[in-house]
Amino acid sequence: MNKYYGNVVLVTGASSGIGKAIAEYLAQKGYNVYGTSRKPQTAGGTGSLANGKTDEAASASAVKMLQMDVCSDESVKAAVEQVMAAEGELGIVINNAGMGIAGSVEDSSPEEVFLQFDTNFFGMHRVIRQVLPAMRKRGRGLIINMSSVGAVFPIPFQAMYVASKAAIEGMSGSLRNELRPFGIKVSMVEPGDTKTGFTGSRVFVKAGGTGSAYSKQSEKSIAVMEHDEKNGPDPIVVARVVGKIISRKNPPLCVAVGLQYKIMIFLKRLIPKALESFVVAKMYEG
């Protein structure tokens, strides 16, 4: 794999799911990978293929885990400084940390909406602000922001998650243009339904229970989502897409993961928004 941006990689939200798959995949490819988790993790140290270890086990142990809460300026700053103190550089940053809140717009409290954005959007912004000075000084770097195909489709009862991802896409496009003079590249990845722990860790708005006017409709819609997620591809598919982006000196702005999603996004450009909204609504009726 071409290491144009250097050998040191930081992957946020690397304790499970897509982030873990990305961190382990890149470690297996020979990158010096630091992963982060909101909760303290046992550091893996340097992996080895000795003693009968498989490639997967070795790559997992090669990922150095750091504690980072993306909702805390101090925590983000401390983790990035730890990487810089150990390595002296940071060439690739993969902003993957995130969470999902489900519920109707009406049932979502301002506090719940802020939590969604504080993690997915402002958390990403905190990391970007911390890593850019070193990248600018070095004159090279790559930032990959994890978006979602949900950012471009009006999925019911995922409005705040969709909105947070749409905000990421708007920021990433502007950031890419701002960083052109400094030799720093920005890309986004749009995974679709993927088989991860995200399904089980989804947060539901407090007002969305049986007393909500939307409860039955919401239950059916979320059941469709969960079925699709549980039957989705393994997160290694996303990790391989990230690997391809890293190998390119001039990476694309955005890559959707999966042929079906590429087709859906292409068709989206051809049909009226009202028809798109109707079709998506029918998909999640259950």
Question: Which active-site residues does the annotation give?
Answer: 15, 147, 161, 165
Long-range contacts of 134-137 (CB under 8 A, 24+ apart): 134/84, 134/89, 134/90, 135/90, 135/91, 135/182, 135/184, 136/182, 136/184
Instruction: Report the half-sphere exposure of 58 (CA within 13 A, side-chain side).
Output: 13
> How far apart are alpha carbons 144 and 93 in whole angstroms?
6
> How far apart are alpha carbons 64 and 24 in whole angstroms?
10
| Distant-in-sequence, close-in-space partners of 267: CB < 8 Å, separation ≥ 6 | none
150-178: b (≥16 Cβ within 10 Å) or e: bbbbbbbbbbbbbbbbbbbbebbeebbee
**Six token digits for residue 4:** 């144009």
Side chain identity at residue 9, one-letter code: V
**Residue 215 CB coordination number (10 Å):** 15
